[in-house]
Structure 1
Amino acid sequence: MASLLLIPLDDTVIFPTMDVTLPVDVGDEDRVLLVPRHEGEYASVGTIAAVRDSVRLPGGARGAVLEGISRGIIGAAHNDPMGKLRAEVTESPDATPVDGRTRDLEREYRAVVDELLELRGDDGRIAGFVRSIAEPGALADTSGYAPDLTFEQKVKLLETTDVTERLELALEYQRERLTQLQIRRRIREDVESGAQKQQREYLLRKQMESIRRELGEDDASFVDEYRRKIDESDMPEHVREQAEKELARLERAGEGGGSEAQMIRTYLDWLIAVPWGVTSEEKLDPQFTRETLDGDHFGLDDVKDRIVEYVAIEKLRRERGIESDKKSGAILTLIGPPGTGKTSIGESIAKATGREFVRMSLGGVRDEAEIRGHRRTYIGALPGRLVRALRDAKTMNPVILLDEIDKVGADYRGDPTAALLEVLDPAQNSTFRDHYLDLELDLSQVLFVATANQAETIPGPLLDRMEVIRFDGYTVMEKTAIARDYLFPRQRERNGLREGEVAITEDLLRTIVAEYTREAGVRQLERELGTLLRKTATRIASRTAQEQEEADAITIDLEQIREALGRQKVFQEAAARTAVPGVATGLAVTGVGGDVLFVEATEMAGKGLGGLTLTGQLGDVMKESARIALTYVRGHADELGISDDAFVDREFHVHVPAGAIPKDGPSAGVTMVTALASLLSGRPVKHTVGMTGEVTLQGRVLPIGGLKQKVLAAHAAGITDVILPERNRGDLDDVPQDVREQMTFHPVMTIGEVLEVALEPATAPVRAEA
């Protein structure tokens, strides 16, 4: 056993008989140990190498020329006094076996290597080198020269000290490489043979067609099949002419006419797939329509009334023989927060009118070809989604739901919303032209129903073509009724429970609505009910069969609700938030419905006259509202009972919490004025008051949008007084009657009226100094 300098080789394996030059300084060492290393782990066997020469490498570094001698089994390692790593090494020279198996392995190895070199196209030098090796151990090591072997395979070969086992391992590796090369060669030959065969078949096919034309014969079975399908289809005349024109082209190209024939056949397949002249028999019964819609959805009277009106008008037209005007098609757009039933009502409309239903999701669509189709000059061209929708519906008068139309994008591939301008215009969609079919399609019989979360992201020209019906969300009472009549029975069935097996009171349903959800829709409410019933189903399933038969129906109580759903998630926090001056409760509309925002204002020492800092990811509109608010309060300080000194050497900070959420919109002006006025006057804002409205520099309160959604959010948050612009007084008719009865509304025209209602009475003199 010898102590040798250990030189680690990262992801590199050096075998005995290999020569290598390494950028290392070996000093006076005669021999060193080269050990492979991967991610800090050393191999158990290294290569003992003799130092043949010391050289200077490019760049001035010292290097050593090393020659592998034999394997070395690594023992204990330690650092010498010079700090160099050394290891105790037991040399393991290759023993020359004399048994016949080793000689057989050696002969087979040489044969496999010769075959490998033949496939690789060796010029004879490598083959001569392999033939010159007489020792079986060194012969096995030559497989380590192959670049195809992984680092792990090379290490395993190095650590195999028995020569016979090493030959077996090397032979296994070389056979794997030979198999891979043979497969690659076979694939290459198959591809070349296939190309030659295709070319030969093409020439023979052309010769066959020429002979058939000379003999007056024609195998037209596939053409006859297409002709029969065209005759059976109720195509309009202009479509039939186009189909026959393409069929004549296919007939000239022949059934095996290459890519052109395949393109024509695909086009004809699409022409035949469109249900030309096929329409569903509509149920024109207004009473049945209303009953169907009421059975599927609670509330939503606006959209239900509009569908009933559509059915009633169509019924009168047909009974009185009045020709239907193609420009009078119904295109409804349902705009509202998620979970309010916009998508599901499309299916109910189809069921109520006896039409087929097709849903087209437009969220994220950025390619205009998705609507109009690709032109046939492109490889892989397809018709647009509307043609595919008609094919799936198998009728020309389905209900097509254009889901998430507000999330359509635009990029270099075109603007899909521009293509929808023609689709959703009753004056144009009777002659809609798909780029792939290149024919006019009559979409006037289709009942289009579009859905969106907000109207602001829909382009103005497109929105102008739509009949907008707004879904502004549900009140607590409506959510409770929906949970009782729709959601609870549906979740009970989905969780495998029978009708009389579990029950819950309406009061507890209202508790779940009020304490676990604050959404405009009912999607989260259904999830909470699903969680509650899953827990209940688990309890029932854990009983024995006899216990289930003897047990009474489970009536869910408050304790079970807390156990299943956890602690209360929604709180009415207006009172706590507005307890100190400088905090006002504002009302806003987001993409998921109405919401309550707390605007906070504070002051600090500073230089100058009333600097302003804004935080909370506010948009440009809200930033301008904050600056207007500060200017108004400073300009009307005397009227508000605020000393002029309150603005000297002071800075103000306005913050809207939930800073991770971007906020913008023209309805926060009065809230910011109220927050600043409350801060500087020392009068807190009444915790029962929420407000909305924009303000001018003169203190006029401007009208806003989305009043119903804001009022519903205020009602859910426990607010009883709402300040709104006078010009929005008429919008209160949209608010449900039960909500109006529980709240007090204060229409105002000036900011003075706002502050009179919103601020608590002054209980102490307003401070006169900062």
Structure 2
Amino acid sequence: MTAEQPKQEKRIDPQSLEVPEVLPILPLHGFVFFPGMGFPLQVSSESSRQLIDEALLGDRMIGLLPHSGEDSSSQEDVDTDDLYQVGVVGYIHKMTKSEEGVYQVLVSGTKKFRVLEYVQREPFLKARVEEIPMEVREDKKIEALLLGIRNQFQKLVKMAPLPQEIGMTVSALTNPFHIAYLITSQLNLKISEEQEILEIEDLEELLLRVARELSDRIETVEMSNKLQESIKKDMDERQREFYLRQQLQAIRKELGEGEDDKVEIRELRERVEKKGLTEEAREAVEKELERLERIPPSSPEYTVSRNYIDWILELPWTESSKDTIDLDKAEKDLEHDHYGLAKIKKRILEFLAVRKLKPDIHGPILCFVGPPGVGKTSLGQSIARTMNRKFVRVALGGVRDEAEIRGHRRTYIGALPGRIIQSLKKAGTNNPVFLLDEIDKLGNDFRGDPSSALLEVLDPEQNSTFTDHYLDIEFDLSKVMFIATANVLDAIPGPLRDRMEVVDLSGYTDHEKTIIARRHLLPRQLEEHALDEDDLDITDEALRVIIRSYTREAGVRNLERQIAAICRGWLPELPGVKVEKPW
């Protein structure tokens, strides 16, 4: 009698199974399941174990729906509103149970479905569903997209790096949906982005989206690899630099060299002794010199520290120019430099008279407001010349960075003091006439508001302790005479405008422009064009016609341009114009 042959188990293709009308729903926490994927799931909650037990007794098919809520750590008490509506039908191949009662379930994704309504909530979810077809069509565009994402994914496998088996699997697959979903699972996308891809029904749209995400991932990996290579190269260079420095120090010690560094430190200390510094500045320099002695000269830190010391030693902490205010001379200078503007000149003379009576007074900060070309900047120069002070002009037009005023901190590479400190170094005295030109053109953006930084500068009660970010030491600006200019008053922020006394320059009349042209503009243009007075003869009547017909402005800049054009040979049809061309 022969032994009975063992009964062979019937193999089932999960892809060929029909999607039932009602599916038990297993919520997924932290990931999205795709059709064509096989994955082991750990099931620990009581309700989910009951779901698996019932599925094993039936058709082994369950619905896998991702959880969309932020708190997705718990499998108990899942709110159906937090579950996506599109999921994957999973087929249970195998289930094992651990000693702790946790189910290890091997599931493969078969088809997509959409939840229509939930028909059961206890002890686990059940829902009425409909299948979402995954229609595969063949055309040239689909073939091209598949070829492109396959090649791009092979490139990503080499760069990332990903397991070679993943690349081989993508090459072996024939179903375009399964290829797209497998690649998506390897792109480290957010759950919401993976769910969006799962919900795309059209094959061409799906492949285009995967190609775009794949391209973005490759770009990110390329950038990351470049950064890693740069960091590694930088570390190698630093190690080599450290080794060479140690060798250089040993060689210098053997040769008895290195005295130059000591000489340099000694010279810096002598400069500190001769320089008039405030107590705070002296302490900062002494501390930095002690640090400088411990830094190797070849180190980048040495240069940073040395530049900081040089900046402190070159600033005019105690150097001042002596004021010589002669009101008669000031009045003559203003009359010589500027015709008209009687009200403005009177206010300037009053300003200087008070300064003469009380030199240490914290007087008002004048702000000349008027249209372009009326002489705002030249008025500041006249005041500086009258008081025998250095004149410094800082153009603020287009300044948007607060660091332009207050400087950068020394922790930044290439840091420098702000424009206030730089201009004082250029002036060489701590009491120049400081012209803040075009103060109404200040801007602001993500780097800060420079107009706010000027609030301390222009406040006589605060600017005696002005602190630049680079120096990190208080500098006394109370002796500086600040003058501002602007074209439009409304563009100046209210708190900044409140700190200044506004002086309006409305512009010139035609009569004043004629005299200005005769006294100042015409002689200057004749000199610039190498002409004599005999070469150009122009009457006052001609000047008035030019002013009225060719230059309609409050200032005189365009008038000067027209005079320059006449000097170059432009002959308008004007009465009283006669030019002898020397060429």
TM-score clears 0.5: yes
Cα displacement (A) at 1:497? 1.1
Question: In the alignment, residue 472 of structure 2 is paired with which amino acid?
Answer: D
Deviations along 1:545-585, whole A, 9 cap, x unmatched?
xxxxxxxxxxx962758999xxxxxxxxxxxxxxxxxxxxx
Cα displacement (A) at 1:501? 3.5
Alpha carbons 2:318, 2:430 under 8 Å: kept: yes
The verdict on how the C-alpha distance between 1:202 and 1:309 changes in structure 2, with shifts beyond 3 A counting, is same
Map 1:26-175 onto structure 2 (within 5 A). Answer: none
d(CA) in 1 for partners of 2:532 and 2:578? 20
Map 1:556-595 onto structure 2 (within 5 A). Answer: 558=575, 560=577
**Which runs of 5 or more structure 2 residues have no equivalent in the other structure?**
1-138, 144-232
1:315 aligns with 2:356: yes
Question: In the alignment, residue 404 of structure 1 is paired with which amino acid?
Answer: E
Q: Where does residue 499 of structure 2 map in the other structure?
A: 465
The verdict on how the C-alpha distance between 1:507 and 1:234 changes in structure 2, with shifts beyond 3 A counting, is same
d(CA) in 1 for partners of 2:261 and 2:463? 42
Map 1:223-262 onto structure 2 (within 5 A). Answer: 223-256=265-298, 258-262=299-303
Question: In the alignment, residue 336 of structure 1 is paired with which amino acid?
Answer: G
Question: In the alignment, residue 388 of structure 1 is paired with which amino acid?
Answer: Q
Deviations along 1:513-557, whole A, 9 cap, x unmatched?
112121111111111111112117xx9xxxxxxxxxxxxxxxx96
Deviations along 1:502-521, whole A, 9 cap, x unmatched?
23222221121112121111
Q: Alignment partner for residue 415 of structure 1, among 422, 441, 449?
A: 449
Alpha carbons 2:408, 2:469 under 8 Å: kept: yes
Alpha carbons 2:435, 2:484 under 8 Å: kept: yes
Q: CA RMSD in A?
A: 3.4
Q: Where does residue 554 of structure 2 map in the other structure?
A: 520
The verdict on how the C-alpha distance between 1:469 and 1:304 changes in structure 2, with shifts beyond 3 A counting, is same
1:204 aligns with 2:247: yes
Aligned length: 354
Alpha carbons 1:329, 1:445 under 8 Å: kept: no
The verdict on how the C-alpha distance between 1:60 and 1:314 changes in structure 2, with shifts beyond 3 A counting, is closer
Deviations along 1:125-174, whole A, 9 cap, x unmatched?
xxxxxxxxxxxxxxxxxxxxxxxxxxxxxxxxxxxxxxxxxxxxxxxxxx
d(CA) in 1 for partners of 2:474 and 2:402? 18
d(CA) in 1 for partners of 2:335 and 2:250? 69
Cα displacement (A) at 1:280? 1.7
Q: Where does residue 529 of structure 2 map in the other structure?
A: 495
Q: Helix, strand or coil: the match of 2:358?
A: helix
Cα displacement (A) at 1:353? 1.5
d(CA) in 2 for partners of 1:201 and 1:330? 59
Alpha carbons 1:330, 1:447 under 8 Å: kept: no
Cα displacement (A) at 1:463? 0.1
d(CA) in 1 for partners of 2:142 and 2:352? 93
Alpha carbons 1:329, 1:446 under 8 Å: kept: no
Q: Where does residue 485 of structure 1 map in the other structure?
A: 519
Map 1:664-679 onto structure 2 (within 5 A). Answer: none
Alpha carbons 1:332, 1:466 under 8 Å: kept: yes
d(CA) in 1 for partners of 2:261 and 2:411? 28
d(CA) in 2 for partners of 1:476 and 1:509? 9
Question: In the alignment, residue 265 of structure 1 is paired with which amino acid?
Answer: R
The sequence identity of aligned pairs, in percent, is 49
The verdict on how the C-alpha distance between 1:454 and 1:266 changes in structure 2, with shifts beyond 3 A counting, is same
The verdict on how the C-alpha distance between 1:191 and 1:442 changes in structure 2, with shifts beyond 3 A counting, is closer
Cα displacement (A) at 1:208? 7.0
Cα displacement (A) at 1:312? 2.2
d(CA) in 2 for partners of 1:563 and 1:408? 47
Q: Where does residue 321 of structure 2 map in the other structure?
A: 280
d(CA) in 2 for partners of 1:438 and 1:194? 32
d(CA) in 2 for partners of 1:306 and 1:247? 49
Question: In the alignment, residue 230 of structure 1 is paired with which amino acid?
Answer: V
Q: Where does residue 720 of structure 1 map in the other structure?
A: none
Cα displacement (A) at 1:383? 0.2
Q: Where does residue 368 of structure 1 map in the other structure?
A: 402
Q: Helix, strand or coil: the match of 1:401?
A: strand
d(CA) in 1 for partners of 2:364 and 2:255? 56
Alpha carbons 1:532, 1:561 under 8 Å: kept: no
Question: In the alignment, residue 295 of structure 2 is paired with which amino acid?
Answer: A
Q: Where does residue 564 of structure 2 map in the other structure?
A: 530
Alpha carbons 2:539, 2:577 under 8 Å: kept: no
Q: Helix, strand or coil: the match of 1:269?
A: helix
Give the stretch that moved more between structures: 215-224 or 436-445.
Answer: 215-224
Q: Where does residue 596 of structure 1 map in the other structure?
A: none
The verdict on how the C-alpha distance between 1:559 and 1:294 changes in structure 2, with shifts beyond 3 A counting, is closer
Q: Helix, strand or coil: the match of 2:394?
A: strand
Cα displacement (A) at 1:246? 0.7
d(CA) in 2 for partners of 1:505 and 1:216? 75
Q: Where does residue 440 of structure 2 map in the other structure?
A: 406
Deviations along 1:326-384, whole A, 9 cap, x unmatched?
xx144110111111111222222222221111111101100000000111111111100
TM value normalised by structure 1: 0.43
Alpha carbons 1:289, 1:308 under 8 Å: kept: yes
d(CA) in 1 for partners of 2:260 and 2:528? 61
The verdict on how the C-alpha distance between 1:218 and 1:532 changes in structure 2, with shifts beyond 3 A counting, is closer
Cα displacement (A) at 1:199? 3.3
The verdict on how the C-alpha distance between 1:489 and 1:254 changes in structure 2, with shifts beyond 3 A counting, is same
d(CA) in 1 for partners of 2:260 and 2:546? 76
The verdict on how the C-alpha distance between 1:59 and 1:464 changes in structure 2, with shifts beyond 3 A counting, is closer
Q: Where does residue 452 of structure 1 map in the other structure?
A: 486
Alpha carbons 2:542, 2:576 under 8 Å: kept: no
Cα displacement (A) at 1:196? 7.2
d(CA) in 2 for partners of 1:487 and 1:202? 63
Cα displacement (A) at 1:388? 0.4
Alpha carbons 1:286, 1:308 under 8 Å: kept: yes
d(CA) in 2 for partners of 1:517 and 1:219? 64
Deviations along 1:91-142, whole A, 9 cap, x unmatched?
xxxxxxxxxxxxxxxxxxxxxxxxxxxxxxxxxxxxxxxxxxxxxxxxxxxx
The verdict on how the C-alpha distance between 1:219 and 1:516 changes in structure 2, with shifts beyond 3 A counting, is closer
Alpha carbons 1:302, 1:469 under 8 Å: kept: no
Q: Where does residue 308 of structure 2 map in the other structure?
A: 267
The verdict on how the C-alpha distance between 1:267 and 1:58 changes in structure 2, with shifts beyond 3 A counting, is same
The verdict on how the C-alpha distance between 1:216 and 1:501 changes in structure 2, with shifts beyond 3 A counting, is closer
d(CA) in 1 for partners of 2:285 and 2:300? 18
The verdict on how the C-alpha distance between 1:263 and 1:240 changes in structure 2, with shifts beyond 3 A counting, is same
Cα displacement (A) at 1:413? 0.3
Higher relative contact order (CA 8 A, sep 6+): 2
Q: Where does residue 293 of structure 1 map in the other structure?
A: 334
TM value normalised by structure 2: 0.56
The verdict on how the C-alpha distance between 1:285 and 1:211 changes in structure 2, with shifts beyond 3 A counting, is same
Q: Helix, strand or coil: the match of 2:381?
A: helix
Cα displacement (A) at 1:237? 1.5
Q: Where does residue 221 of structure 2 map in the other structure?
A: none
Q: Where does residue 670 of structure 1 map in the other structure?
A: none
Q: Where does residue 394 of structure 1 map in the other structure?
A: 428
d(CA) in 2 for partners of 1:462 and 1:476? 34
Cα displacement (A) at 1:387? 0.5
Question: In the alignment, residue 533 of structure 1 is paired with which amino acid?
Answer: C
Q: Helix, strand or coil: the match of 1:528?
A: helix
